[in-house]
Each structure stands twice: as structure tokens, then as C-alpha cells.
Amino acid sequence: MITITFYAQDIAGNIGTETVAIIKQISPKSKENLLLTASIITISSIGGTIGASGIIIFLQRKKIINIKKSYENLRNKLKKIFNKNASNR
């Protein structure tokens, strides 16, 4: 049940109120629809979470691979620099 109170004030300053009670009954069919809707939302949320987790894991692995490649490139460049310096001595 929902109760709504309306307030009004006229030009003379008189204040009046009126309260209305609203009662909504849910039919058994509506309850079934509500359960179906809740189930769909839950399943969609779980699926979305799994999908997002998969994407994040994929991107993190790709990032790690790129970091490893950058490290390898840097290491190779440093080896070349040290080898040149060693051969110039």
C-alpha cells in the first residue's frame, strides 16, 4: 500500500490536505512474469561478468606479452651497445 498526501494553499493562506491510499494487487501471472524477468536479469548479469572477465584476462595477457617483448628488445639493444664498446677498446 502506498499513501500519498496532497497539500494545497489558497490565496488567503488556508492550507488543505487530502490523503489517498493506493493498493495494487499482483496477479499470479504477474508473479510468474516477475520471476522470469528476475531470472533473465540474473543470468544476463552472470554472463556479462564472465564475458568482461574474459576480456580483461585476455588484455592483461596481451599486455604481459608486450612487456616481455619490450624487455627483450631493450636487452638486445643493450647487448649491442656493450659489445660495440667492448670491441672498440
How confident is the model over 51-81, as pLDDT tens digits?
888 888 887 777 777 777 888 888 888 888 8
Residue 88 confidence class, pLDDT cut points 50, 70, 90:
low
The closest alpha carbon to 3, from 15, 30, 13, 17, belongs to 17
- Answer for the pair 5, 15: CB distance below 8 angstroms, yes or no: no
CA dist 39 and 33 (Å) reads: 10
**Residue 86 in this model has a pLDDT that exceeds 70:** no
pTM > 0.85? no
Mean pLDDT throughout 18-29?
80
Q: Quickly tell me which residue has 490536505 as its cell.
A: 17
- Answer for the pair 18, 3: CB distance below 8 angstroms, yes or no: no
